[in-house]
Chain A
Amino acid sequence: MNPREFEYHAPHSLDEAFSLLGKYGDESKILAGGQSLIPLMKSRIFSMPHIIDIGKIEGLRNIEINKSGARIGSLVTISDLESEREIAELFPAIHDAASQIADPLIRNAGTIGGNIAHGDPGNDLPAVLVTLGAVFVLRRSGGERTADASKFFIDTLETDVHHGEILTEIVIPRPGKKTASAYLKAKKSAGDFSIAGISTCISMEKDGSIGSIRMALTSSGPKVIEVTGLEEICKGKKDYNSIAEKVSVAAVSSAKPSDDFYGTVQYKKKVIGILAKDCLKLAMERAEKR
């Protein structure tokens, strides 16, 4: 199918984009890589009189890595994330997730900013960025603010981006020593949305015990869900086997999956439980090696 008629705008600067957003207000929508928006427009599920393509704006495609962490421009493509060696080194969960999003063609088009700002609970990067403690930079005409990843996602397709704002940068704090992350995804086929996904970030103390842990779930509710109650289970523990079952139960009890074509709530909870154990194990193994 083909989209309904729309006017296409391709601003070259943020200021130009802000003025278009101001001019067209509710009749406009930002287009980044188009991974989600273009299929919706082509199937005529979604249409908008004005499409503002921010892809030509300079300065939003950088990956900057310094002592305090990473600053990733919102137009960095999923493929760029996947192939950046330093990202894979510092934030393996980002690499894990990026390499499993859709297929290579879509990864060449889709962007980190779009993956976040679309607010789809099936998108993989929100869970990863929540566990990594990322902060999002939102710019508007004449100003900017930051939002914590953990508070950014409000509901299905609803985020904390206000009209007139553009997500420009993702800031991720540099992980401490003995810290590692991992992302796992259960799906029918490569390229599919997940039945469930899980991101884990673990920091270990010098003695090899767990100091802190965060986990977040993809495709397990109306928005990304952070697993609660993990610190009590894991803090000070060294042995995977002593905590795996409890972590699994915590992940399952935080999840709010729904019945659909891909399976019942019961089945999805089972998948989430297995994912939690497998992801915990992988993250612990990676952290120990650091």
Chain B
Amino acid sequence: MRSEKEMVTGRMQYIDDIVMDGMLHMTVVRSPYSFAKINAIRGGLNHTDFNSEMKSFGEGETGEETGPGETMFAGSHAFYAGQPVAAVFGKTKYESEDNADSVEVDYEPLKPIMNLNDSLKLGPVHGSMKSNVLKRTLLGKEFSIADSHIDLSDSFMMERIATNPIEGRGLVCHYDDNKLNVWISGQSMHSIKSGLCGTLNLPPDRVRVFHVDTGGAFGLKGGMYPEYAIAGFASMKYGKPVKWIETRREHLMASKPGRGVRGDITISARKDGKILGLKGKVLVDAGAFGGSIAEFSPRFIGYQITGPYAIGNVYVDAQALVTNKPPQGPYRGAGRPEASFLMERMIDRLADETGLDPVDIRLTNAATEPFKTPTGMTIPESRSFLQDAIRELGYRNFRKPERPGFSFFALLPASSPGEGARIRCSEGKVKVWLGGNTHGQGHEFFVKSLLSTEFRIDPGLITLEYADTDMLEKGEGSWGSRSAMVGGNAIIELARRIIKRIEKEEGHYAPEILLDGEYDEQDFVSYKKTLISYGANLVTADVDTYGNVHVKECRSYYDVGRALVPHMVRGQIIGGCMQGIGQTLYEEISYSEDGTLLTGSISDAGLPTAEKIPEFTVKYAENPSEFPHGAKGLGESPTIGVPTALARAIELASGKRIRNTPVRPDYLIG
């Protein structure tokens, strides 16, 4: 593992830096149509050579997926623009791209379904389904409230956005000596391995997956994609190493975008701001296939929709709907920001309706004791954190006309089911393998910090190794604000086992004994609970005559349990805040009605650039968790808290009700 400086100056061994003798470069030929019948295909590697449904998609997988799942290659139909139809190869990238011209496909374009309304209204995209409803879950229970003073309904849309890490997807496959070796930029070597085994029908001992330096992921690189299976298959078929590196355009058209969620919400409240009930619909744009996080998203959003508030009546009809777009994927937050946006926007609306301060409404509804929501989620007491946050963020210090947006949220990290790890002490060095693979967050820092404390040794003797499925039997992944929490828990548990063993064998533990000896411990350390923590943001913004939003200040206050590595905590928060700003103001994957991608360049798909960076204030509470290290989740907090606070700040500055992200200039002055 390398230093942050090497990371930000590009001095890493990224996937495209790997060169092997005889290596073939793969270019994927993709459907230009969002929906088309494929009458014939000639050339390249295509579905007539081999085809199989994707297995295991990593983050958000429950094992209860019903599909229809995506296949490696489009067969009788292409279901989204960008779906792999064939693959071609060459000794150089140039040759490989030239060979794409040799593939001939006879398409018969069909009318695609490009939005949620059409998905509900029109007939099913897949012949195997009765409607476009991929998954439907009812959460809470139906209710009616007699003494409600105010009933408010509204509809919100968070458009799909690309994950857009600096480095896109990519891998090198080398089938050698009956074993498929894979080097990949990723978040979870173990989910990639099970995906390849399932899709290519290989037993576990014939697939080995290696992690390489990874230039960002944000959910993109947690699981399987058709391209991975195609590259693996090609390496087996041709007996040569095969490399595939995604272009930015491929990323924007054919990776799995996040968000794409609509909420139609009604709340019932008293005049004093007490919310008595919430009901509504959550509709997730699943894209063209199941077997993705889209099967889980609607339920996850509905489950946590009331966030940190004690609301006694909740009923949510949560659905994932098929459209002719790439399958939905997780993007930093993956359901959490969506749930919070729906709740927080309704609270701000209620404030405008009642004339109450929106923060006072939040106080009125915060949980004063542990509370089990009608959707089944149990939240800890939240009011005292909110009171601290109001003070720490300086909310009451603002005087009219200056009014900030404020948000309050519960972070539900993916702490379950725990994480796998391995610690090996040999020749005076301590080497560590983790099941959740760092993709830029700096896992090596918490590994060194926690283990140097446990073992009482110099952190310089400890290294986090590149993950490798042969070196670590079982692992989960790095996502859902989980890595330091459950990865840290796993390495402490293993370290303590080693210390106990030394105590048993030697009568006592001393660092010298550890460093002189040979110890090797690995396990999957289970943790089955969701360790909820709270956070709040305050954002101020101006809107100019052109409808451009200028974010002035972005303040954060999150309960991190314990800041294991304070400068990394700060970095996570600032980076996440910029992504929250990105979602709210700039980022979008958009199509015309006929299915043409309108956001095929990074400029169109929008990213926050350096000039958009506001003044940040980063504060955190340290209320230790039940873990031995005391840490709680963090990574997704800013992407939950910032969009909702910023939406309010824009609303106050422009006088326009903010219902959708991104908030476009043409909406603000149109």
Instruction: State the A residues within 8 Å of B (CB).
Output: 1-2, 4-5, 43-44, 186, 188-193, 195, 260-264, 266-267, 270-271, 274, 278
| A185 shortest CB reach to chain B, Å | 10
- CB of B513 within 8 Å of the partner chain: no
B586 touches A2 (CB 8 A): no
15 example contacts (A-B, Cβ-Cβ < 8 A) are as follows A1-B249, A186-B546, A188-B665, A189-B603, A189-B611, A189-B612, A190-B609, A191-B609, A192-B603, A195-B665, A262-B666, A264-B670, A270-B669, A270-B670, A278-B545
Complex CA gap A43/B546 in Å reads 32
- CB of B604 within 8 Å of the partner chain: yes
Give the tally of cross-chain contacts (CB within 8 A).
56
- CB of B264 within 8 Å of the partner chain: no
Query: Which of A189, A261, A266 lies in contact with B598, CB distance below 8 A?
Result: A261
| B42 shortest CB reach to chain A, Å | 21
A263 touches B666 (CB 8 A): yes
Instruction: State the B residues within 8 Å of A (CB).
Output: 93-94, 97-98, 247, 249, 545-546, 548, 586, 590, 598-599, 603-604, 606-609, 611-612, 664-666, 669-670
Closest 6 CB pairs of A and B: A267-B666, A263-B666, A261-B598, A190-B611, A186-B546, A267-B670
B669: chain A residues at CB < 8 Å are 267, 270-271
11 extra interface residue pairs, beta carbon distance < 8 Å, beyond A186-B548, A263-B665: A4-B98, A5-B94, A5-B98, A186-B546, A191-B603, A263-B666, A263-B670, A264-B666, A267-B669, A274-B545, A278-B545
Closest to A43 in B: B249
A278: chain B residues at CB < 8 Å are 545
Complex CA gap A44/B249 in Å reads 12
| B664 shortest CB reach to chain A, Å | 8
| A2 shortest CB reach to chain B, Å | 5
Closest to B100 in A: A44
A261 touches B97 (CB 8 A): no
A263: chain B residues at CB < 8 Å are 664-666, 670
Closest to B94 in A: A2
A4: chain B residues at CB < 8 Å are 98
Closest to B97 in A: A2
| A188-B665, A266-B670 as given contacts; A274 in contact with B586, CB under 8 Å | no
A270: chain B residues at CB < 8 Å are 669-670
Complex CA gap A262/B609 in Å reads 18
Complex CA gap A193/B211 in Å reads 38
B607: chain A residues at CB < 8 Å are 189
| A87 shortest CB reach to chain B, Å | 24
| A287 shortest CB reach to chain B, Å | 23
Complex CA gap A262/B590 in Å reads 11
Complex CA gap A263/B548 in Å reads 13
A271: chain B residues at CB < 8 Å are 546, 669
Closest to B662 in A: A188
B603: chain A residues at CB < 8 Å are 189, 191-193
| B560 shortest CB reach to chain A, Å | 31
A195: chain B residues at CB < 8 Å are 665
Complex CA gap A266/B670 in Å reads 8
B249 touches A188 (CB 8 A): no
A266: chain B residues at CB < 8 Å are 670
Complex CA gap A165/B53 in Å reads 57
Complex CA gap A195/B97 in Å reads 33
B670: chain A residues at CB < 8 Å are 263-264, 266-267, 270
| A1-B97, A2-B94 as given contacts; A274 in contact with B546, CB under 8 Å | yes
Closest to A278 in B: B545
A44 touches B97 (CB 8 A): yes
B586 touches A188 (CB 8 A): yes
B247: chain A residues at CB < 8 Å are 1
A261: chain B residues at CB < 8 Å are 590, 598-599, 604
Complex CA gap A80/B620 in Å reads 47
Closest to B669 in A: A270
Complex CA gap A193/B603 in Å reads 9
Complex CA gap A263/B93 in Å reads 37
| B608 shortest CB reach to chain A, Å | 8
Closest to A277 in B: B545
B546: chain A residues at CB < 8 Å are 186, 271, 274
| B77 shortest CB reach to chain A, Å | 26
Complex CA gap A254/B545 in Å reads 21
B666: chain A residues at CB < 8 Å are 262-264, 267
B664: chain A residues at CB < 8 Å are 263
| A32 shortest CB reach to chain B, Å | 22
Closest to A39 in B: B601
Complex CA gap A271/B94 in Å reads 43
Closest to A263 in B: B666
Complex CA gap A271/B599 in Å reads 22
Query: Which of B93, B97, B586 lies in contact with A189, CB distance below 8 A?
Result: B586
Complex CA gap A4/B548 in Å reads 39
B612: chain A residues at CB < 8 Å are 189
Closest to B25 in A: A2
B606 touches A189 (CB 8 A): yes
